[in-house]
Amino acid sequence: MSRPAIVFDLDGTLVDSLPDIVFSFRWSFGALGLEAPPEAAVRAQVGLPLEAMYALFAPLAAVRDLAAGYRRHYAEHLANRSRPFPGVEVLLGALRERGYALAVATTKQTPMALRLVTAMGLDDALDHVQGTDGFAHKPAPDVIERALVALGADGRWMVGDTTHDVGAGKAAGLRTYAVTWGTHDAVRLRAAGPDVVASDLSGLLPALDRDGTVGGEDHRTGKGESAG
């Protein structure tokens, strides 16, 4: 039987990286002599593809240069203020002990995602890091499905901080856990219909207990359970 898997978004879910993302996003406007949008407006759109974010705030002709400037600046400053959210390392360790395979599925491109994961000291805690590299972005399920194929595991839960994460998890057939300490607030997340909305990740283990599976075994029956 394949291992059960938990799939996590990265920014705003495992890592409090929004300050560095928003700073680099707004910095790129100044580098081109353009007025930067308000911080709150940028923060609300994190989770969209980078070019789509810029298209909301800038002329289409400037989007390519803005995105290139962001990528250069962010690559050099991605760990300035970013940190794993409280309890993340302990949670990932506990999930590993329970037998879960653990993956990241992020809108970031894979090389940048790996760079952030390594800078945050989470590379040894995860089995796979999957970025969105030339295929459909969330809420399409592609990035989740590719992560699960790479793991050779059965997906059980998608954990994220945006409605895009919830939509992608549901489209992939996973249960969904939405955390409010990242990008989208509880009202917006509940409207997307996740299985759980919580202020942090401390409720994930109890949610798995209620789900009844640990390490692929159904503890309600004592028998193996197929992927949920």
Q: Which of 9, 154, 161, 211 is catalytic?
A: 9
Sheet containing 175-179: order of strands = 128-130, 101-105, 4-8, 154-160, 175-179, 196-198
- 193: helix, strand or coil: coil
Give the closest residue to 70 by CA, choosing from 117, 120, 31, 115. 31
The answer to whether 163 and 188 have CB atoms below 8 angstroms apart is: yes
Contacts of 210 (CB under 8 A, 6+ apart): none
Distance, in Å, from the CA atom of 172 to the CA atom of 51, rounded to the nearest integer, reads 24
For the range 36-44, what are the long-range contacts, defined as Cβ-Cβ under 8 Å and sequence gap of 24 or more? Answer: 43/18, 43/183, 44/183, 44/184
Is 209 one of the annotated active-site residues of the chain? no
Strand partners, 177: 159, 196
- 203: helix, strand or coil: coil
Is 11 one of the annotated active-site residues of the chain? yes
Distance, in Å, from the CA atom of 138 to the CA atom of 164, rounded to the nearest integer, reads 5
Q: Which of 11, 154, 165, 211 is catalytic?
A: 11
Give the closest residue to 132 by CA, choosing from 21, 194, 54, 47. 47
User: Which residues are catalytically annotated?
Assistant: 9, 11
